[in-house]
Amino acid sequence: MEPLRFEFTVGCPVERAFSLWAEQTTRWWPHGHSVSAEQGLTVSFEPRAGGRIFERTPAGDEHDWGEIVAWEPPRRLVYLWHLRFDRGDATEVEVRFAPHEHGTAVTIVHRGWERLGAERRERNRRGWGGVLPRFRIAALVESDELVIEDWTGERGPVAPLHVHREDDEAWLALEGVLVVRVGDRDVRIGPGEAVRVPAGTPHAYEIAERARYLIAMTPRIRELTARLHEPGDTEWGAYASELLA
């Protein structure tokens, strides 16, 4: 049975892409794609051949997901994978990172379906579909802390022209079309496409066609967004931001 194979690029250097995948997994991994499904869990790769891949809940409970086969930073990582299954039913995941003109080319080969069957393979294909967009958008935002949210909206403007002085922000379209104003240009993104707004860049965005999308932001931007949906005026400067429109 053919392995699952995924190829894409991320807008960061090879060293950061490897680190984000294997050393900063908690920043982007969806908590629902785990054993406990608990908010606040952490994901760890022990950095050596034979090392564990596991989650730790806020209460300290640990659940194994897999085992490192090859640890070769920053270019290659191979591991056995048995999230929610016994180790005897593990598959093998190989991830390669290579320099690319737009950052890093990532190639994933997920093999070992012969005795597990097509249904398990298809389930994992769908699982990757929910995980990989989060990794791709996380690679665009430079921040020690990161909030990634899945938003849906109808056609129309969403955010007026504004600027975040110290924080990056990024969008990745899952369905529909977004138009993001980045400085003096409009960037139109459809399914699978992403755009980053670096700190200090005036920007706005609207939905051109009913859309579902990921937005990656710092906790400070998330707090500002929440405040804007509450009654009363918002002091943008308290969030190192400014409304320009």
CATH number at residue 46: 3.30.530.20
Q: Please check whether residues 36 and 127 belong to one and the same domain.
A: yes
Write down the pLDDT at residue 143. 84
**pLDDT 10s per residue in the chain (245 long)?**
999 999 999 999 999 999 999 999 999 999 999 999 999 999 999 999 999 999 999 999 999 999 999 999 999 999 999 999 989 899 999 999 999 999 999 999 999 999 899 999 999 999 999 999 999 999 999 888 899 999 999 999 999 999 999 999 999 999 999 999 999 999 999 999 999 999 999 999 999 999 999 999 999 999 999 999 898 889 999 999 999 97
Whether residues 99 and 17 fall in one domain: yes
What whole-number distance in Å separates Cα of residue 66 and Cα of residue 119?
Answer: 20
Domain boundary residue, one of 81, 111, 138: 138
Q: What is the CATH number of the domain that holds 221?
A: 2.60.120.10
Distance CA 128, CA 121 (A): 11
| Domain endpoint, select from 138, 171, 200 | 138
CB 137 within 8 A of CB 148: yes
* Count of structural domains, the chain: 2
Answer yes or no: do 180 and 219 share one domain. Answer: yes
Q: Are 88 and 8 found together in one domain?
A: yes
Rounded Cα distance between 109 and 78, Å, is 9
Judged by DSSP in three states, 10 sits in strand
Same domain, 131 and 191: no
Residues 98 and 118 in one domain: yes
Whether residues 64 and 173 share a domain: the answer is no
Position 245 scores a pLDDT of: 76
- Regarding whether 133 and 152 lie in a shared domain, the answer is no
Give pLDDT, residue 65: 98
Phi, psi of 154 (to 5 degrees): -90, 170
- At 146 the pLDDT is 93
Residues in Cβ contact with 164 at an 8 Å cutoff, skipping those fewer than 6 apart:
197, 199, 200, 220, 221, 239, 240, 241
pTM metric for this prediction: 0.94
- Say if CB 29 and CB 36 are below 8 A apart: no
pLDDT of 229 reads: 87
Distances (CA, A) of 35 to 12, 39, 57, 129: 30, 12, 10, 18
Both 8 and 80 in one domain: the answer is yes
Q: Are residues 48 and 128 in the same domain?
A: yes
Phi, psi of 38 (to 5 degrees): -90, 140
Provide the 3-class DSSP secondary structure of residue 78. Answer: strand
Question: What pLDDT score was predicted for residue 144?
Answer: 82
Residues 70 and 180 both lie in one domain: no
Distance of alpha carbon 17 from alpha carbon 19, whole angstroms? 5
Sign of the torsion angle spanned by Cα atoms 155, 158, 176, 34: negative
Rg (CA), the chain: 19
Q: What is the pLDDT of residue 191?
A: 97
* Residue 65 belongs to domain spanning: 4-138
CB distance 220 to 139 below 8 Å: no
